[in-house]
Structure 1
Amino acid sequence: MQHPTIAHRIIELQNNDLALRDKLAKEGRLSEGYDEEMRDLHIYNANILNEIIKEIGFPTIEKVGKEANGAAWLVIQHSIALPIFMKRCASLLKEVVDAQKADSIHYAYLSDRIAVLEDRPQVFGTQFDWDENGKLSPNPIEDVANVNERRKSVGIPNTIEEQTESIRFHARHDNLTPPKNFMKRKQEMEEWKKSVGWVSS
């Protein structure tokens, strides 16, 4: 590991993110849209990581170790209020994945999240949301018949069916509940995506 101090800082960003998520889950504040406190932390973390990337380039396993590399991915994955940053990181991540210096699963998740935010079908079926029946289901998937082959090709260990079952189990365990008004939440999400620049108005 080339940058142990930076590695520690990135892991700290991740831990703060996860601690806030746990707090909001216990307070029942995760199902009704993008919580302001969470949004502010995500933006703060992304800005810190952006400065780190300017200093050392993308935080690969070689530079910061496996744990901090994974933590950097989580910060990027949660930077949904910053489309330009998120898409730039996706390009950098693709380069280091191609050079076998980062995990291909991370790129699969990030590229799927960007696709969903841009109202495009995802490729690997990693992104889920509440459906109109109050169940967590995959967002629309491109060529769904072959999704499990694509998942396997990047090292995702489970099928889309297994992941759906697992996500629903964890949602019950974490006491996550569907939004009270599905259509209102969906409309608010679309308006939010326009406001930050994921989709054009």
Structure 2
Amino acid sequence: MDQSLRQKLIGMVEDARRLRAVLAADGSLFQGYNEQLRNLHNTHAKTLADIVDAKGWPGRMLVGEDGAAAAWMIVQQAIGLPRFMRACLEVIEAAASKGDVPRWQVALLTDRICWLEGRPQIYGTQFDWDANGELSPVPIADEASVDARRALSDLIPLIDGIRQRRTEAQQNGESAPPPAEAAARRKDFDEWAKAIGWRS
């Protein structure tokens, strides 16, 4: 195992988590894609891309379970880089087929890309604030069968996933109070997704 690389990946995720907490506390996290956070995510994505070019995907064998989770999180956070995220999904799918990353990582990244592209998600892992001010899954394709798909990806049932996500949001200061003007936020997000290249 490459302990130095493991620590580097974990450190990048911790840096992003600290900044996100600061932005959540002052409310700016909910006012579009914060420039400071975007710059940090893009810097981390470039570093990860260089790592993948040099060593391949940093999975369990190279950086351990927590290091592999950190690498995946860096991809999840790189929402301003469509080509990077799509390319990483292919690499992570290959790593999962060899057992080097857990299947849930493929599921969550797949859903994130679907959401960014404006398509219904597959596994119900992506959330936004609904009209009642609660975090709820964004639209899910064939929702009646979602728990079967989740089980194949080692995810808990959707109802438990919703409860877990709402609890995490409360603990991270992301839901008190929820962002106002949900429709305006969604419109701004849709315009951003088109401008960045996620949607035509």
Same fold (TM over 0.5): yes
Q: Does 1:47 align with 2:46?
A: yes
Runs of at least 5 residues in structure 2 that lack an aligned partner in the other structure: none
Residue 63 of structure 2 corresponds to 64
> Distance between the aligned counterparts of 1:152 and 1:8, measured in 2?
31
Q: Does 1:197 align with 2:197?
A: yes
> Distance between the aligned counterparts of 2:12 and 2:190, measured in 1?
28
> Distance between the aligned counterparts of 1:143 and 1:42, measured in 2?
32
Return 164-173 or 190-199, whichever deviates more.
164-173
Residue 149 of structure 1 corresponds to 148
Which amino acid in structure 1 is aligned with residue 167 of structure 2?
A: F
Offset of residue 172 of structure 1 = 3.3
Residues 29-62 of structure 1, C-alpha deviations (whole Å, 9 max, x = no match): 2222211111111111101111111110111111
Residue 160 of structure 1 corresponds to 158
TM-score, normalised to structure 2, is 0.94
Any runs of at least 4 consecutive aligned residues in structure 1 with deviations exceeding 4 A, and if so which? Answer: none
Residue 107 of structure 2 corresponds to 108
RMSD: 1.3
**After the TM superposition, which residues 106-145 of structure 1 pair with which residues of structure 2 at under 5 Å, given as runs?**
106-145=105-144
Other structure's SS at 1:137 match: strand
> Distance between the aligned counterparts of 2:36 and 2:116, measured in 1?
20
Structure 1 residue corresponding to 2:167, chosen from 159, 169, 173: 169
> Distance between the aligned counterparts of 1:165 and 1:104, measured in 2?
21
Residue 38 of structure 1 corresponds to 37
Identity of aligned residues (%): 36
Q: How many residues align?
A: 198
Residue 20 of structure 2 corresponds to 21
> Distance between the aligned counterparts of 2:169 and 2:51, measured in 1?
33
Which amino acid in structure 2 is aligned with residue 82 of structure 1?
A: L
Which amino acid in structure 2 is aligned with residue 4 of structure 1?
A: Q
Offset of residue 28 of structure 1 = 2.1
TM-score, normalised to structure 1, is 0.94
Other structure's SS at 1:30 match: helix
Offset of residue 175 of structure 1 = 5.0
